[in-house]
Amino acid sequence: MFKKIFSFKLLPLVLALLPLQLSAQGDMSDVEIIPHQLTDNLYFLEGQGGNIGVSIGDDGVFLIDDQFAPLSGRILDAVASITSEPVRFVFNTHYHGDHVGGNANMADAGAIIFAHENVRDRLSADYTRDNMMMSAEQRRSLPVVTFPESMNFHLNGHDIHVFHLGPGHTDGDSFVYFTDANIIHTGDVFRTNAYPRVDTNANGSFYGIVAAYEALVDISNADTRFLPGHGVLSSQADVQSQLNMFHTISNRVKNAIAQGMSLEQILDAGLTEEYDDRWGDPTGMLTAIYSELLRM
Ligand SMILES: [Zn+2]
């Protein structure tokens, strides 16, 4: 019986598909969505992928990012554990899959999706690459309201100022500033678990990230709380301390280039030695700094 169904003709196909399905489902099935309270009506959700900001109140739930599609049910359950209001608005901080993966499910749940205009452009281009037709699900996952520079939401008693600062992590990064609560969701431009990630396929820029950190320090104060795309809730001093490190590393790369060192030599020179235990592999960042400096 088993042999008949499980014919050898199908075996290679089954074996080829099996690892994909196991890794896609297996990785996510253990993920727990944990709510953390920030103020009386602001929360963030931790799961797998970018930290999700949550504003609750009479105007409905406003989510910042939505992680991966397989987690949407658990994300909505976590929201339902803190409020009975529906998710009405989703804001995407940038186009990466660990921040927008749940878009179609959130749209199905009734949410309107907002993002910088380059987020919609990049997702559309990804979906239609190689002359592919966009699926109905992909169409539903696209932001329906986009903006070029900044926009404001007035929701749940909050003034929420959303702004774009030019290319950094990607070319469609947004910062979501709850001005009265003094909390900024930074997307992946600011993160606390790794060196900056520069998505060069999406016109990202290390020096754009540096400029964004400077702007974040400028508009904030000692009481501001920063919710990073990845990592832990942070302060202005944490942003400033990373910024100091970026300036140090940038100056070292400049000096190395002035001495005629190649990228390979720079990667081998231990320029970030004292920081690597804390921040991990510097290769991507150093490569971005090097290539941007050569273009300046
Ligand atoms: Zn990202």
Q: How far does residue 69's CA lie from ligand 1's centre (Å)?
A: 16
User: Quick one: pLDDT at residue 194?
Assistant: 97
Average pLDDT of the residues of the chain: 92
Q: How far does residue 170's CA lie from ligand 1's centre (Å)?
A: 8
User: Quick one: pLDDT at residue 2?
Assistant: 39
The answer to whether position 82 is within a domain reads: yes
**Nearest by Cα to 215 from 178, 166, 160, 253:** 166
From residue 158, how far is each of 22, 89, 224, 244, 290 by CA, in Å? 42, 14, 15, 32, 42
pLDDT for 26 beyond 60: no
**Nearest by Cα to 209 from 266, 166, 161:** 166
What are the backbone angles phi and psi of residue 127, rounded to the nearest 5°? -70, -30
Token digits of residue 20: 């994909």
Structurally, the chain folds into a number of domains equal to 1
From residue 284, how far is each of 30, 147, 151, 207, 246 by CA, in Å? 30, 30, 32, 14, 13
The answer to whether position 18 is within a domain reads: no
Stretch 271-280: mean pLDDT: 98
Q: How far does residue 169's CA lie from ligand 1's centre (Å)?
A: 7
Percentage of the residues of the chain whose pLDDT score is greater than 90: 91
Q: How far does residue 96's CA lie from ligand 1's centre (Å)?
A: 5
Q: How far does residue 278's CA lie from ligand 1's centre (Å)?
A: 20
pLDDT for 12 beyond 80: no
From residue 115, how far is each of 135, 154, 172 by CA, in Å? 20, 16, 8
Stretch 12-32: mean pLDDT: 56
Angle at CA of residue 147, ends 284 and 51, nearest 5°? 50
Stretch 188-212: mean pLDDT: 97
User: Quick one: pLDDT at residue 123?
Assistant: 97
Q: How far does residue 180's CA lie from ligand 1's centre (Å)?
A: 27
> Considering the entire predicted model, what is its pTM?
0.90
The answer to whether position 251 is within a domain reads: no
What is the DSSP code (8-state) at residue 262?
A: -
Laid out side by side, the sheet with 183-185 consists of 150-155, 158-163, 175-178, 183-185, 225-227
The answer to whether position 279 is within a domain reads: no
Asked if residues 232 and 262 have their Cβ atoms less than 8 Å apart, the reply is no
Q: How far apart are CA 246 and CA 38, in angstroms?
A: 29
Q: How far does residue 198's CA lie from ligand 1's centre (Å)?
A: 9
Q: What is the pLDDT of residues 53-70, one digit of tens each?
A: 999 999 999 999 999 999
Q: How far does residue 122's CA lie from ligand 1's centre (Å)?
A: 13
Give the pLDDT band (50/70/90) at residue 13. Answer: very low
User: Quick one: pLDDT at residue 3?
Assistant: 39
Q: What is the pLDDT of residues 126-181, one digit of tens each?
A: 999 999 999 999 999 999 999 999 999 999 999 999 999 999 999 999 999 999 99
Q: Can you say how many angstroms the Cα of residue 225 is from the centroid of all Cα atoms in its chain?
A: 17
pLDDT for 18 beyond 60: no
Q: What is the pLDDT of residues 96-105, one digit of tens each?
A: 999 999 999 9
User: Quick one: pLDDT at residue 22?
Assistant: 40
Q: How far does residue 15's CA lie from ligand 1's centre (Å)?
A: 32
Please give the residue range of the domain that contains residue 215: 30-235
User: Quick one: pLDDT at residue 19?
Assistant: 41
Q: How far does residue 63's CA lie from ligand 1's centre (Å)?
A: 17
User: Quick one: pLDDT at residue 1?
Assistant: 39
Q: Which residues contact 289 (CB under 8 A, 6 or more apart)?
A: 206, 249, 250, 253
What are the backbone angles phi and psi of residue 288, rounded to the nearest 5°? -65, -45
Residue 196, domain CATH: 3.60.15.10
Q: How far does residue 227's CA lie from ligand 1's centre (Å)?
A: 14
* DSSP-assigned letters across all residues of 183-207: EEE-TTTS-SSSS----GGGT--HH
Q: What is the pLDDT of residues 219-256, one digit of tens each?
A: 999 999 999 999 999 999 999 999 999 999 999 999 99
Asked if residues 93 and 174 have their Cβ atoms less than 8 Å apart, the reply is yes
**Nearest by Cα to 107 from 78, 136, 147, 82:** 136
